Amino acid sequence: MKILATGGAGFIGSHAVKRLLAEGCEVLNIDKLTYAGSLDNLGSAMNNPKHHFEKIDICDAPKIQKLFESFKPDAVLHMAAESHVDRSIDGPAVFIETNVVGTHVITKTAYDYWASNKKDFRFVHLSTDEVFGALGEEGFFTEETPYQPNSPYAASKASSDLLVRSYWKTYKFPAIIVNSSNNYGPNQYPEKLIPLTILNALEQKPLPIYGEGKNVRDWLFVEDHVDGLWSILTKATPGEAFCIGGGYEVRNIDIVKTICTFLDKKQPAAKPHENLITYVTDRPGHDFRYATDCTKIKNKLSWAPKTNFEKGIATTIDWYLQEQKRLSELPARHRQGKAS
């Protein structure tokens, strides 16, 4: 297959591009290379003759149209997005521009291409479980959960989902929507909880935790997510939506303490790393709990996460230990995250 991948130099995107190449696909990777995207994430994929990279803003409709006309993809894997809740609270406009306007440009261009060519085609749109809002102590998100976004980021992704869905309902455009739980793994930008905690702990900096750290997230190892995306891309029926998660619910404070325990063994400091934990004022509209029911994708596509959290977090910490020097040199303004 020939796959046009958006956001393929980001965290999830770079892992997905490498998987597509491993499957023998030809990939046109388009990425704006904003602060969280880097060609370093792609490693040896940059030398693969089946990998083509274009630095382009997904909001640039004329350039996007030219790429569709020249590359003639069999599918689109749309992963480009602004994704950090804190940043969306501080500056919502860029989230609307990229996640809503950019998604419409990609969707409309892909629709025009598909409608003109009448070829076997599919459009996979990657989204988040945050579009569903927050859960209490019990229950799970499913594909039938009503949308109730609580942050500008979640609202922008909910808007993008509804745009994509409308093209299926109105035009029978062969789109599929994927709502993913929290991802973690190598290459994640250090504004997010897990990499920020690892790097701050290694540098003996405070480990900021919102509120009391009792907010719960469902954690999915990025390689398992990519495995699910491949199954969806190759086997799912157009017009469907899939929730995908790791099935590992844990409080933010417990994630941070787990990382501290691993680092106490791998790279001990004068005092336990837990001593660096610092509680800070909770952020506005902070969702209490996310948990994802993956029954549909398990039953329809025979997908299930393979990586338990202990193995996944060990792999992740080892990677950040190896990359510590390079990542520690990132501008301080780009490492502003706290507990998710």
pLDDT (tens digit per residue) in 7-37: 999 999 999 999 999 999 999 999 999 999 9
Instruction: Give the pLDDT confidence score for residue 337 in this predicted structure.
Output: 54
Distance CA 157, CA 181 (A): 13
The tens digit of pLDDT for each residue in 290-317 reads 999 999 999 999 999 999 999 999 999 9
Q: Is residue 10 part of a domain?
A: yes
pLDDT at 340: 56
CA-to-CA dists, residue 14 to 81, 99, 189, 253, angstroms: 13, 18, 12, 28
Residue pair 128/183 in contact (Cβ under 8 Å)? The answer is no
Lowest mean pLDDT among 45-49, 84-88, 195-199: 84-88
pLDDT at 333 over 60: no
- Find the CATH number of the domain harbouring 136: 3.40.50.720
Does residue 22 sit within a domain? yes
Residue 336 has pLDDT above 60, yes or no: no
Segments forming the whole domain that contains residue 137 = 2-183+221-246+287-306
Tell me phi and psi for residue 102, to 5 degrees.
-60, -40
Find the helix or strand (DSSP H, E) in which 30 lies. strand 26-31
The CA–CA distances, whole Å, from 46 to 17, 38, 81, 159, 322 equal 10, 11, 21, 33, 21
Q: Answer whether residue 93 is part of any domain.
A: yes
The predicted structure's pLDDT at residue 124: 98
Helices (H) and strands (E) in the chain, counts: 11, 12
Average pLDDT over residues 43-67: 98
Mean pLDDT of 254-261: 97
Q: Assess if residue 98 is contained within a domain.
A: yes
Q: What is the mean pLDDT of the chain?
A: 95
The string of pLDDT tens digits covering residues 212-225 is 999 999 999 999 99
* Per-residue model confidence (pLDDT) at position 325: 81
> Is there a domain that residue 171 lies in?
yes
User: What percentage of the chain carries pLDDT values higher than 90?
Assistant: 91
The residues carrying an active-site annotation are 129-130, 153
Mean pLDDT of 163-181: 98
- CA 316 vs. chain centroid, Å, equals 16
Q: Please tell me the predicted confidence (pLDDT) of residue 334.
A: 47
Using 50, 70 and 90 to split pLDDT, how confident is the model at 324? Answer: confident
The reply to whether 319 falls in a domain is no
Tell me the pairing of strands 216-221 and 182-184: parallel
Structural domains of the chain, count: 1
Q: Is residue 213 part of a domain?
A: no
Task: Look at residue 327 and tell me if it is in a domain.
Answer: no
What Å distances lie between residue 195 and 33, 44, 50, 201, CA to CA? 20, 23, 31, 10
